[in-house]
Amino acid sequence: MHRFGIGREIRASAPQRVLKWISSFSISRSISSLAFATVEVEEISGSRPAEVHNLVQGKWARSFHWNTLVDPLNGEPFIKVAEVDEAGTQPFVESLSKCPKHGLHNPFKAPERYLLYGDISAKAARLLSLPEVSNFFTRLIQRVVPKSYQQAQGEVNVTQKFLENFSGDQVRFLARSFAVPGNHLGQQSHGFRWPYGSVAIITPFNFPLEIPLLQLMGALYMGNKPVLKVDSKVSLVMDQMMRLLHACGLPMEDVDFINSDEKTMNKLLMEANPRMTLFTGSSRVAEKLAVDLKGRIKLEDAGFDWKILGPDVQEVDYVASVCDQDAYACSGQKCSAQSMLFMHENWASSPLISKMKELAEKRKLEDLTIGPVLTFTTEAMLDHKNKLLEIPGSKLLFGGEPLENHTIPHVYGALKPTAVYVPLEEMLKENNYEVVTQEIFGPFQVVTDYKAEQLPMVLDAIERMHAHLTAAVVSNDVAFLQEIIGKSVNGTTYAGLRARTTGAPQNHWFGPAGDPRGAGIGTPEAIKLVWSCHREIIYDMGPVPPHWQTPPPT
């Protein structure tokens, strides 16, 4: 809502100035017609399918191969994606090969491009603050990955604020250097942030604007030449965002945008040999790419994320609401979604679960507070539920049934928000642990409880997990917080009564910890870590000491 307010203020105070600025970037129609866009969101349908193109060497291009996508809400073919096959990767290979290892800009080369990207960010942020543009991208996100309007709008707002954060001089501040005095007059060592050159970005379906845009701009800010691949199911969103960025001054040649299957993208990576690849997605693919790319990779992979409720029970309604949002917003399709809830026995005897059940049952398909699951079928999720219920002492807390009265195609999942209780002792058994901690990228969580003396068992459970993305410790007990935080590793951890696992804004680091390949997103620290490396330049100007003589060899 804050961004909407900015948009109204701009138009009310200086409408002619805004429209003049828009036209200066080759937008010939009024702002309400969104001249950068090539689709009308509400008209995308089987009779008027949208098209997604590729961008390579500064030109938009179609393909001989079209992948037709079906609407996840009704199964109607509604988007045609021009997908590049293995025979069509050469233009992308050539494009990346033109970028030198020292990048398109660095502190010693074309420094004016730092200012250019500050400018682009400012203009793009201003556009996204306008209600018409914000609504366009919000609705576009909803069309390809159905989630509530508020959830989709939140993604647009975070993206807008990120661009605002890196306006003006903030891009060049990312390349801030330092100097250390040397051993003698004329000697100084300087540390610089240096680009990699050609890079690749591979992002998933669940946040089709926020993740690719934030990582793309971070790569560009630091001087890299990226090829961007977004999951084809949702790549229409970045197709349109690329066109907005071009209207804001992004040079057409600076970014390549490809649509392809996994096999083709893997071939491109092997042939183009980018200096660094950012991958956000499944652990299976991440591990394969880490081997294929010989470790030249940064990962933000799967997250089986946990929440621990401490001994101090308070604000039960609030905590229940946050648990519901963490587990079931976006139908659980967040890498930060609450996958496992550990309740202290004090919470187990509170009305928390009954309140969570009430909230879960209010979610409905009509407003997309629950919706299609794009990577798991209904049958797969029900099968997982049944496997958990085979564990002694386990029970279904709520959900566990398919959604009713819908037209969601069978290739996608449709499940009511689900929670399964598994006893802590059983969970930790070797033959159960792998099943219990399997990530289900949908509206599904595992719940357990523990007594005070069982806290070491809880810590053992989280120690054995392999993905350490987000976590929450819900307690205002300082000693309890110190115990959990000191014996865990998740990269983005919320602590305190209002702790959550999801909803990361642009103002703090979001990413895993405990893995040297871990990638962050959103902050200056994340951008510098992922998209640049350290280079040390030692100046040694002299003078040579008076009466210097050649010393004997050593």
Q: Could you list the active site residues?
A: 300, 335
What DSSP character marks residue 413? B
Two structure tokens written together for 152: 């989709």
Helix axis angle for 235-247 and 112-129, nearest 10°, is 120
d(CA 374, CA 71): 11
**Amino acid type, 441:** F
H-assigned helices in 24-106: 90-97
Taking alpha carbons only, the member of 70, 68, 67 closest to residue 407 is: 70
Distance from the first to the final alpha carbon of the chain = 70
Q: Which residues contact 168 (CB under 8 A, 6 or more apart)?
A: 118, 122
Two structure tokens written together for 79: 């988007």
Q: How many CB atoms are located within 10 Å of the residue 386 CB? A: 12
212 phi, psi to nearest 5 deg: -65, -40
**Contact, 304 vs 282, CB < 8 A?**
no
In 3-state terms, what secondary structure has residue 394? coil
Dihedral sign for Cα atoms in the order 37, 30, 123, 523: negative
Q: Which residue has the tokens 């969970």?
A: 427
Length of the chain: 554
d(CA 538, CA 189): 4
d(CA 370, CA 395): 23
Taking alpha carbons only, the member of 312, 310, 309 closest to residue 322 is: 309
Give ∠ CA 502-74-238 in degrees, rounded to 5. 50
